[in-house]
Structure 1
Amino acid sequence: MNDWIAHLGGQRDGADRVVFDTPEPARRAMEANVMTPLAHLGILDVAGEDAERFLQGQTSAQVSLADGDFAPLTCFCTSKGRVLANAQLWRVAPDHYRLLMHQSLVPSLRDHLQKFAAFYKAALTPRDDLALIGLIGREVPAVAEVLLDVVPPAVWHQANRDDLQVLAHPGPRPRLLACLPVERAAATWETLAAQASPVDNAVWRLHDIQAGLAWLEASQQDTYLPQMLNWEALGGISFKKGCYTGQEVVARAHFRGQVKKRLVRGQLDGGLIPEPGSAIEDADEKRLGEVLCAELDAYGEAEVLAVMSTREPSPPLRVAGQKLKPLKLPYPLERLDPERLAGKA
């Protein structure tokens, strides 16, 4: 965790959580503007004259679409098509790209990519000197325009001002992510405090769950095809680009309809947050899948994202002794080309 977080008045709870004394933080985010340090996310930079060509051969995104405006989702896979890391990609400057992912995956992805980067003029740099601040709320676009002096971007796009980038993420309320140098973070936080209350970063994670957006952690890598995370439905896979590591398996699964597990959303009937990997069981106690992530919602009940078999289950479903109620995803389970999102279809 960056040192700047220690000066915000919150408390560290483990490696990737920050807790504030703001009461009912999830409910607060429904009613007002809130902000949170995104301690669970990390940054890996890829820079050099071969950066675009290098990334093009490794990632599911059409890298040329990351043009300083559009900031696509992407993923990195093994040769067998299993996801090593899922990320958001944006361009900071010519020959300089930035990847956002769960902080636990930054070291392993860097080590994996370094094996290939040796053949390119491209450097891989974990950016512990950058701060990430999340903003949630109906008035957040106006807050960003006034206090950050940027025109708020559309979802999966970016806005830039000097060494600040602001990115828009989907969710039940408008969400913006600000990426800036650590030395500017505390002052920016104080500026934003005039219009936003500090809340736990669990609130941002909850809004990811409600958006049907799962960020893999280190313990979950090399396990799932991208489609098992609904990544093609979120615009995270370009089926129009050339080869990249794992592309043949990913394309085959798509065109032959061989995806037997999918990301699903649900709510548990209690306040127990299940651990990642907790089994989803049907009425016959048969395992159908496992929880990827879970957080408490504004009503004190756990909401989850899980990867589960697509076959018709035998209800009721249970997780850690709690009944699982399926919830609708906020997007259709169909292919969404990133070229369309970028306006270049």
Structure 2
Amino acid sequence: MQQQWQHFLSEQGAIINDGCVKRFNSPETEIKNSTAATILADLSHYRLFRVSGADANSFLQGQLSNDINHVTENQAQMSAYCSPKGRALALFRVFHFDNAYFLSLPDEIAETTMKRLNMFIMRSDVTMDDVTNDYFHFGIAGKDAAAKLKAALNLAELPDETDASIIANGLCLQKLAGTPDRFELIGSSDGATTMWNALQPSCVPVGESAWSLQRINAGIPEILTNSVETFVPQMLNLQLINTINFQKGCYPGQEIVARTKYLGKLKKRLYLAEVPTANPIEIGTDIYQSGDNLQSVGKIVLASANSSETTRVLVVLQIAAAEKQSLFLAEKDGPTLKILAMPYDLDE
């Protein structure tokens, strides 16, 4: 995070740690605001990489799980980067802006992920630049988010379908999955304070946890340090949220991903659940089921408190265990998981 931008946010009341806005208000207030208000979040805990060059399209097409040919100024997408064994190394948000492709991913895995991706450029005409400090990156969510964005940006129309994107007034605006509406806004860092000041009067600023809660409620997973190379894409429901294209050509892990779809039977998948604790839950924490055979039946993928007494989680579980329930966090006698309905259909 740029020092000038960090200073500005601190003056607005932000509590910042390691370049990430943790919160603006008490944890209890942030949780309430995340569900009751239109929220505005600084997304500096994500890094932005610009991918350009004559071979940028073919390079990304050969590395990622989705079809890069569908990415235009009017269409963004999510895409997975996998190991040769078909395990997800990272999930990118991919979009086209300023005459180049952009990749967005969490800061905590960005350095190792992009170093690995760079290894495969070789003689291709591709340049990948970390442009995080050249752009602001905001998240806006809430039932009135669309109306407030229209007013602040002076736009007649906004993208109205998941992953739809528009370029206007030097800004890139994308609609994300989930209800209430969620958007990401990217623009030149020179205009960061002006844009924040334009949005802030009609929005409530929040930190990373409140924004993550919106993602969890939308059923959209994320790969973080403790979950790198842990799950095949289908375990994360990526085939259900337009993150895998089964008609495109080869990419690392493609054979495993395709075999899982056409020849295998999925034994694990992603679920939304609630745990009766507001204590922090680490990514990768094991889930157990009641019974004599104490073995892990799943792992936490994302977690964020949604009240002073409960935490919402995305968790990969054995399907058979999820159907039987009686699930516990971290140990046999730990807090009980209550499985909730996903906001999208789990039938393929």
Report the TM-score when normalising by structure 2: 0.91
Q: Specify the alignment match of 2:327 in structure 1.
A: 317
Q: Specify the alignment match of 1:116 in structure 2.
A: 120
Change (3 A) 1:220 1:148: same
Query: Is the 2:237–2:269 Cα contact (8 Å) retained in structure 1?
Result: yes
What amino acid sits opposite 1:127 in the alignment? Answer: V
Q: Specify the alignment match of 1:152 in structure 2.
A: 158
What amino acid sits opposite 1:122 in the alignment? Answer: V
Q: Secondary structure at the match of 1:55?
A: helix
> How many angstroms apart in 2 are the aligned matches of 1:230 and 1:73?
12
> How many angstroms apart in 1 are the aligned matches of 2:6 and 2:299?
32
Q: Specify the alignment match of 2:314 in structure 1.
A: 305
For the pair 1:49 / 2:58, whether they are aligned, the reply is: no
Q: Specify the alignment match of 1:133 in structure 2.
A: 138
Quote the offset at 1:182 in angstroms.
Answer: 2.1
Quote the offset at 1:247 in angstroms.
Answer: 1.0
Query: Is the 1:262–1:308 Cα contact (8 Å) retained in structure 2?
Result: yes
How many residue pairs were aligned? Answer: 334
For the pair 1:34 / 2:43, whether they are aligned, the reply is: no
- Tell me which stretches of 4 or more aligned residues in structure 1 moved more than 3 Å: 13-17, 312-315
Query: Is the 1:18–1:39 Cα contact (8 Å) retained in structure 2?
Result: no
Query: Is the 1:264–1:329 Cα contact (8 Å) retained in structure 2?
Result: yes
> How many angstroms apart in 2 are the aligned matches of 1:185 and 1:93?
17
Change (3 A) 1:15 1:290: farther
> How many angstroms apart in 1 are the aligned matches of 2:305 and 2:199?
25
**Where does structure 1 lack aligned partners over 5 or more consecutive residues?**
336-345
Quote the offset at 1:265 in angstroms.
Answer: 1.0
> How many angstroms apart in 2 are the aligned matches of 1:125 and 1:62?
22
Query: Is the 1:107–1:126 Cα contact (8 Å) retained in structure 2?
Result: no
**Where does structure 2 lack aligned partners over 5 or more consecutive residues?**
none
Report the TM-score when normalising by structure 1: 0.91
What amino acid sits opposite 2:340 in the alignment? Answer: L
What amino acid sits opposite 1:74 in the alignment? Answer: S
Q: Specify the alignment match of 2:109 in structure 1.
A: 105
Quote the offset at 1:228 in angstroms.
Answer: 1.0
Query: Is the 2:278–2:308 Cα contact (8 Å) retained in structure 1?
Result: no
Structure number having the greater helix percentage: 2
Q: Secondary structure at the match of 1:176?
A: strand
Q: Specify the alignment match of 2:233 in structure 1.
A: 226
| Segment drifting more, 295-304 vs 119-128 | 295-304
1:117-266 correspondence to structure 2 within 5 Å: 117-129=121-133, 130-150=135-155, 151-153=157-159, 154-266=161-273
1:79-128 deviations in whole A, cap 9, x for unaligned? Answer: 1111111111111144x101112122221221111111122101111222
> How many angstroms apart in 2 are the aligned matches of 1:108 and 1:251?
26
Identity over the aligned pairs, expressed in percent?
26
| Segment drifting more, 210-219 vs 313-322 | 313-322
1:292-339 deviations in whole A, cap 9, x for unaligned? Answer: 11111146410001111122355421114211100111111244xxxx
Query: Is the 1:2–1:131 Cα contact (8 Å) retained in structure 2?
Result: no
Change (3 A) 1:15 1:323: farther
